[in-house]
Chains A and B, each alone.
Chain A
Amino acid sequence: AQSVTQPDIHITVSEGASLELRCNYSYGATPYLFWYVQSPGQGLQLLLKYFSGDTLVQGIKGFEAEFKRSQSSFNLRKPSVHWSDAAEYFCAVGASGNTPLVFGKGTRLSVIA
């Protein structure tokens, strides 16, 4: 069965500092991996996705993620965090085709001045 682990429930970073949010997955084949962001009262917005090819993927809002098969990880990074990045971040995995996603429990990001 597919599963996603986000080890950090809550992270606080200073504005302008770098960010890395961890995601580990369990899946029997090559997974389809996603990072979504959810602001309070809002739906989920896709930041980036990985299907195949280059293991470093670029997303919106300056985010990137690196797929590491050997570590079953898909960590999200941003070199310089902005106050507007404060939100809940979810990592998700899916099988090929239009299939349901399995989400992690999320990491809440707080940004301080």
Chain B
Amino acid sequence: GAGVSQSPRYKVAKRGQDVALRCDPISGHVSLFWYQQALGQGPEFLTYFQNEAQLDKSGLPSDRFFAERPEGSVSTLKIQRTQQEDSAVYLCASSSPTSGRAVGDYNEQFFGPGTRLTVL
């Protein structure tokens, strides 16, 4: 695909419901990041993967949040028993090491359009 895609774009959930948000990264991108953006705030890191390995999940706000990337491509962010404070835009980004340079060299993160979650 041309860029990072996310689905659904909008999700309304009743408090207590479980939700699943999907991210399709750019094909071949090794790294995948999830961020949470509350209204009027900058994005805040949740978790990230390198291929299928979840290398850092320190930003997940509670054990109700769970992310996976089982085949090293598509990722799903799951929120169990949603609460009103979970209302936010959830952004996914992917990146890949710069070709021709050492693996691990930083390249830019390409962001998807986000999923706006509203918990009533």
Contacts and interface: CB of A to CB of B under 8 A. Distances in A.
Interface of A: 4, 32, 34, 36, 41-46, 49, 51, 90, 92, 94, 96-106
Interface in B24-52: 30-31, 33, 35, 40-45, 48, 50
Given A98-B97, A100-B48, A32 B106 contact: yes
Nearest to B96: A98
B56 interface: yes
Contacts of B56: 100
A97 B106 contact: yes
Contacts of B35: 101, 103
Contacts of B61: none
A43 B42 contact: no
B108 A46 contact: yes
Summarize B's interface: helix, strand, loop or mixed.
loop
Contacts of A90: 42-43
19 contacts: A43-B4, A43-B91, A43-B112, A43-B113, A44-B91, A46-B110, A51-B106, A90-B42, A96-B106, A97-B104, A98-B106, A98-B107, A99-B48, A101-B35, A101-B43, A103-B43, A104-B42, A105-B41, A106-B41
A46 B97 CA distance: 16
